[in-house]
Structure 1
Amino acid sequence: DLDAALPLFDHALADAPDDLPLRLGRARCLNWMGRHDEAAAAYAAILDDHPDSEEATLGLAQAERWRGREDRALALLEAARWPIRGERREIRDAIRAEYRPWLELSGGKIHDSDPTDRPWASATLGTWVDPRLALSATVGRSGFDGYGYEAPATRLGAGLLWRPEGDWTLHLNAAWERYAATYVDPYPPATPPDVLERDVDLLALDGWLTWRPGARLRVDVGGFRQAGPTPLTVAEANHLQGATVGVDLGVAPRWTLVLAGGLARYDDGNRRRNARLALRLTDDLGPVSVELEPELRWLDFARTDGVGYWSPDAVQAAGARLRLAGALGERWDWRLEGAAGREKEKNADAVSTGDWSAELGFSAGRARLWAAGGSGKSRLDSAAGYRREWWSLGLRTTFP
């Protein structure tokens, strides 16, 4: 009951007028009650005393948006210079959405030069139960066509986003997936091979917890269970499960140290390990946001004879990644990303690698359309270092 909560905040603040969590709670309560002028004043006062408070910046931007001042809201977010890639866009989208129900339609294709094709399409419908809890449902189709194998899949899923406190965010996703796998048995194939068909059901899970205790630190911890990467692994129910961790630490103005890694295990017993170390420079060149990221990466499998999937032996890579983002007028936005480097697998020669991607978006009213695509070549990302090309299209809209 917000009407009952506000006097409690006032009473507590009378005894502790400088208590930041209480001040944020009172301002948040005013925003939820629709008293946006008072909320804006409360958040502005907090920022006078705590200029690095991300929750106060976001709260003031929300209050300004609800007062009909979207330009002011977006200017606040741009000036905040959040160092974590993607967060500004997500927050900006949340500001514009005003916690309305949303619909997202998307689809695309991944093509590897071996050759294999993986088309996909999905539809997601979601709603905010309150400003801290969102629920969604997803239906999708995907396919795999290559090496004479096929594995079309149907996916029915549900998702949850929960922000129990200002510093914490929890994402959970669960989906039932059915694969109609066509594969060759045995592997390697006999002469003549037996072509078999098998339906495989999987409960796919993934989730991660984000902790943001301050403006310069972010910690992500996650876990997942998913189907194997090829129809052969799907048909043999050789699924993959694992855990990941990532830390983004601001070490100086505009500089962020990025540490990430993960452990995963196939049902056949093979284990995968990976790690990444990067130093990110974030800056703005006029209307263009720039991120430059020198990086070191490593990937290894316990065994290099994983059946039906690529299991490289101690791949090491060094390179640099550049990201650019900007706007074209009121309705258009764009993003470009590219990377180049060198990569070496144990007992193999070093090779040059690189990738690029681009996205163009168009916003009209409550809807945003986008088109994206890219290409890359690396043993760290695709089987045997084949060149991977991809494209996608999407529409996201909110409802009154």
Structure 2
Amino acid sequence: MEDPAVSPRADARDALAACALCALLAGAAAGGTAAEPREPRRTAAAPQASRTAPGAAQAPQWAAAAPQAPRRVAAPDTAAQTSEQAWTRARALADRQRYDDAGAVIRRALGRAPDDTDLLWLEAGVEGWAGRHRVAVALYERLVERHPEMARDLRKDLAAERLAAGDVTGALRDLDLRLEEAPEDLDARALRAEALSQADRLAEAIAEYDRLLAASPDDPDLARARARDLGWMGRHREAIAAYGALLERNPRDEEARLGLAQNENWAGNHRVAARLFEAMLADGRSDPEIFKGLAYARYWSGRPDLARPVLNVYRAREPDDLEGRELDAMLEREWSTGALAGYERSDDTDALRVMTTTLEYRFAPGERTMLSALWRRDDLKDPGGFLHAVRGGVRVDRLWSDAWSGRAAALYLDPGRGRDADAIGEAALIHRPLDRLRIELGVAKDLVLTRTSLARNLRVRQGAAAVEWRAGDRLTLRAGERLQLYSDANRQSRFSAGARQVVRSSRRLEAALTFDGDYLRSHRDLDDGYYDPAWYVEFGPGAEFAWKPRDGWTLGLVARTGWQHEKGSSSDPRYDLTATVELPLGRRLGLGLEGERSSSNLSTASGFEQKRWAAYLSTRF
């Protein structure tokens, strides 16, 4: 239940992009004057052709600018008068959002005057306002083909419909042509900035918005779009400042309130974000994005029990939303009745093979408690023989508040070969005084997982402390200390530290650079089967990638390299490469696969290089 290094922005993009498109067009068409704040989804399905938008019933401007095809004037014939009346009637219906009725009026009039360009233009616009953007694109393209003299004037409206239909490349092509023809067209520049945003060319989009705002510094639509793109780039602090400036000018700017809450959430300030989302709901706002944002804020702040009711409201209204489905799946996987079965095998360069079978059944007796029944068998084989150990027991995970949670496990251990049974387990307490800060303390008792150590019936008692701090929007720092006391009277301490910097985050891909280091120190070298050097150190850089090629699928790759050095030996290069696959098998089953190869002395208890693979099958009931 870790915070994301940078929040997923993709669904917010889908929810706001069409609205921003309408707002930018309206603001730019008005010459950069301030516009009234809009509800984020009010115009989401109706990106409007700039010259024929509902509410501005006027003749297409290309007609006034084309002497060879003037608008109808005095003494029209009967057919012309009928077409003029049909245009006015259809436009009035479209202004009242009666798009199908408007289309019917236009089609009847075109039956009498099939080449009336005013009606053909309006027909394409009405289809776009109705949300049938692909149809609108086809109509505009047909109109340009039949009347190439209109191409210059139709180009911007065609680009808007291409963008709304998902053809970002085509929209940018048309807009670049339009701006070659009319560089002063701020309407087209605003639309091009939106297209750059949707093309994930965010740096270019922000540069375009900066130029537009230099010409129209008080335009709230442009300022909101720029702030939105800052958030999509992961520059959340700048986005928060930009939205704050908008709210200083207009405290009732509801889009800015939503954007501020979203960026506080993505920046890791989940409790602050939750209060902002709740304030919007208390004010009577009902935008679905508010419910989704609040659900994620609660989940990321460690309160899945509070996330579920809000998510249910959102899912009822937006059942097909990708991020809503993803959060639902995470809550189901972590906090619902289910089972997991797994098998893992590792081989090290000292000919030790460890084969592990695990079974787990979990159920939630309450909103804040999860109980799990656990069973595990370890089979260990090396040239010295074969041994196995079996353990079974229960674990409880508990949430007390936003700041406190914990877990505990009690297990019965059968070490095999007639040796006395034992009790092992763990307990951990997690404190989050701030959203960005996580402190964990834990104790445990376990067996030492090598064949030699198991043959000597060794146990290890552990105490650990760890701190994780999200130092920036994309930077996370961590440090931890672990003390290990072995039943052969040996002891060890291990200090670990690391940093993780997200360098790329989008709907489908996240990439991060890391730097990690470990220092292990042993009291004595007893050769009891586990790795116990006088001291050992390793450090080096790494990279992490997570790719989601489709809904429910995740492909991960973690690569680390660097140096390792043990007292009394030379320094050697080290590497670690881990690949993971997670994919759904229908609605209730999930499959996880892992593979690892590592030369680190810390990758196994025995201190040798290893190769490892694992497979897990999970289900929920």
* Superposed CA offset, 1:346-384 (max 9, x none): 121000001111111111212211111111011223356
5+ unaligned residues in a row in structure 2: which ranges? 1-269, 279-283
Q: Which is worse superposed, 257-266 or 96-105?
A: 96-105
**Could you tell me the TM-score, scaled by structure 1's length?**
0.75
Residue 3 (structure 1) aligns with: none
Q: Which amino acid aligns with 1:169?
A: S
1:63 pairs with 2:310:
yes
| Pairwise CA distance, 1:57 | 9.2
* Superposed CA offset, 1:105-156 (max 9, x none): 1112111121011111111111011121010102222210013232212221
2 CA distance for matches of 1:95 and 1:70?
16
* Partner SS state of residue 328, structure 1: coil
| Pairwise CA distance, 1:174 | 1.7
CA contact (8 A) 2:415 2:457 kept: no
Distance 1:70 1:57, change over 3 A: farther
Q: Which has more strand, going by share of residues?
A: 1
Residue 5 (structure 1) aligns with: none
Q: Which amino acid aligns with 2:410?
A: A
Residue 339 (structure 2) aligns with: 103
| Pairwise CA distance, 1:316 | 1.2
* Superposed CA offset, 1:234-289 (max 9, x none): 33332100111111112222111111110011011110110112121124343211
* Partner SS state of residue 180, structure 1: coil
Residue 568 (structure 2) aligns with: 347
| Pairwise CA distance, 1:92 | 6.1
- Percent of aligned pairs with the same residue? 18
Q: Which amino acid aligns with 2:522?
A: F
Residue 370 (structure 1) aligns with: 592
Residue 295 (structure 1) aligns with: 516
Distance 1:392 1:341, change over 3 A: same
Distance 1:165 1:300, change over 3 A: same
CA contact (8 A) 2:390 2:414 kept: yes
CA contact (8 A) 2:501 2:514 kept: yes
Residue 274 (structure 1) aligns with: 494
2 CA distance for matches of 1:119 and 1:45?
45
* Partner SS state of residue 274, structure 1: strand
| Pairwise CA distance, 1:232 | 3.4
2 CA distance for matches of 1:98 and 1:315?
37
1:217 pairs with 2:437:
yes
Matches within 5 A, 1:311-322: 311-322=532-543
Distance 1:45 1:126, change over 3 A: closer
Q: Which amino acid aligns with 1:253?
A: D
Distance 1:242 1:40, change over 3 A: farther
Residue 551 (structure 2) aligns with: 330
Distance 1:46 1:385, change over 3 A: closer
Residue 414 (structure 2) aligns with: 178
Matches within 5 A, 1:1-400: 44=290, 54-55=300-301, 59=306, 63-65=310-312, 67-68=315-316, 69=318, 72=321, 74=323, 93-97=329-333, 99-181=335-417, 198-286=418-506, 287-363=508-584, 364-382=586-604, 385-399=607-621
**Could you tell me the TM-score, scaled by structure 2's length?**
0.50
Distance 1:60 1:306, change over 3 A: same
Distance 1:108 1:282, change over 3 A: same
Residue 188 (structure 2) aligns with: none
CA contact (8 A) 2:448 2:605 kept: no
* Partner SS state of residue 304, structure 1: coil
Q: Which is worse superposed, 167-176 or 353-362?
A: 167-176
Distance 1:110 1:53, change over 3 A: closer
| Pairwise CA distance, 1:228 | 2.2
Q: Which is worse superposed, 336-345 or 63-72?
A: 63-72
CA contact (8 A) 2:481 2:494 kept: yes
CA contact (8 A) 2:301 2:435 kept: no
2 CA distance for matches of 1:293 and 1:158?
35
Distance 1:383 1:234, change over 3 A: closer
1 CA distance for matches of 2:587 and 2:299?
30
* Partner SS state of residue 247, structure 1: strand
**CA-atom RMSD in angstroms:** 3.4
1 CA distance for matches of 2:299 and 2:363?
27
1 CA distance for matches of 2:390 and 2:298?
45
* Partner SS state of residue 415, structure 2: strand
Residue 4 (structure 1) aligns with: none
| Pairwise CA distance, 1:215 | 2.2
| Pairwise CA distance, 1:39 | 12
* Partner SS state of residue 145, structure 1: strand
2 CA distance for matches of 1:240 and 1:341?
29
CA contact (8 A) 1:278 1:293 kept: yes
5+ unaligned residues in a row in structure 1: which ranges? 1-19, 29-37, 78-90, 182-197
| Pairwise CA distance, 1:43 | 10
Distance 1:167 1:40, change over 3 A: farther
CA contact (8 A) 1:353 1:378 kept: yes
Q: Which amino acid aligns with 1:396?
A: S
2 CA distance for matches of 1:56 and 1:205?
24
| Pairwise CA distance, 1:291 | 2.4
2 CA distance for matches of 1:180 and 1:391?
25
Q: What count of residue pairs does the alignment treat as equivalent?
A: 339
2 CA distance for matches of 1:94 and 1:331?
10
* Partner SS state of residue 416, structure 2: strand
Q: Which has more helix, going by share of residues?
A: 2
| Pairwise CA distance, 1:98 | 8.5
Q: Which amino acid aligns with 1:178?
A: D
Distance 1:232 1:200, change over 3 A: farther
* Partner SS state of residue 467, structure 2: strand
Residue 81 (structure 1) aligns with: none
* Partner SS state of residue 63, structure 1: helix
* Partner SS state of residue 453, structure 2: helix
1 CA distance for matches of 2:563 and 2:509?
28
Residue 217 (structure 2) aligns with: none
